[in-house]
Amino acid sequence: MDLAVLRDDMVASLEHESKQCVSSEAVSIAMRTVPRHCFIDDARGAYTDQAFDHRGTTILAPSTVGRLVEALCPAEGESVLVVGAGIGYTAAVLAAIVGPENVQAVDISRQLVYDARRCLAEAGYETVYVDQGDGARGLPAYAPYDKILVEAAAVRPPRALLDQLAPDGRLVMPLGVGKQTLVAFEDGDMVDRYGSVLFRPLLVDGEQAGTIERNRTAREDFEHMVRESESRHGWEHEWIDWD
């Protein structure tokens, strides 16, 4: 079984007009370079276009990773933050484009951080920095970032992440709860939409995957994210006529 051939076939399918998840040369080369089998227990299954569950999180399907990275538009040498690092595959694809030393990643699960570090090292990207923490707060010590990718859904982009963008920086994330859309922000404004997606909610401290809080209903998830967002930058009553 030649894994390099399987990897090439996988990317070719993502470039095909039937999917069109990968369109740029940079993303194509990166996904043909990163050994996805280092992040998936099933080596052959690693090169099928499917997602996997791991410790209560989702290892994204290659087509989803392609869409995310294409939307982010990373370039060589840019500084990138990945929020919701998971097992680390998306961070590795970004590292293949911008350089491993330019990629920082954060995840709320300490065990996932350990797993991501191990998988990234096995894949040859050990200099990607992965830390544990509340992703909504980012990693301010390494800011500003040219690009920020959020691999979890929220009702609005966390203010701390927008503040950590460099001038002309770009943030890509799934926006919404039940109905989600992949969007891009620049200078605090939404500038692009990339269609429907389905991601898990962005967790905050105390909500690590597998804890009792994950038994909340979808409605409770939505209400919790609204409260969390409002608590960080104040109530916004758009209906008040201030004049």
Partners of residue 192 on adjacent β-strands: 184
Q: Residue range 19-39: average pLDDT? A: 97
The pTM of the full predicted model, rounded to 2 decimals, is: 0.83
Helix/strand/coil percentages in the chain, nearest 5: 40, 25, 35
Say if residue 144 is preceded by a cis peptide, omega within 30 of 0: yes
CATH topology of domain 3-233: Rossmann fold (3.40.50)
- pLDDT value at 237 more than 90: no
pLDDT higher than threshold 60 for residue 191: yes
Contacts of 113 (CB under 8 A, 6+ apart): 85, 107, 130, 131, 132
- Predicted confidence (pLDDT) at residue 160 exceeds the cutoff of 70: yes
Q: What is the mean pLDDT of residues 187-210?
A: 81
Give the model's pLDDT for residue 56: 81
Are 45 and 74 contacting, i.e. CB atoms less than 8 angstroms apart? no
Q: What is the structure's pLDDT at 222? A: 55
> Which pLDDT tens digit goes with each residue over 67-104?
999 999 999 999 999 999 999 999 999 999 999 999 99
Q: What is the pLDDT of residue 234?
A: 42
Between 224 and 189, residue with greater pLDDT: 189
Q: Can you give the pLDDT at residue 205?
A: 57
**Any bridge partners for residue 57, and if so which?**
54
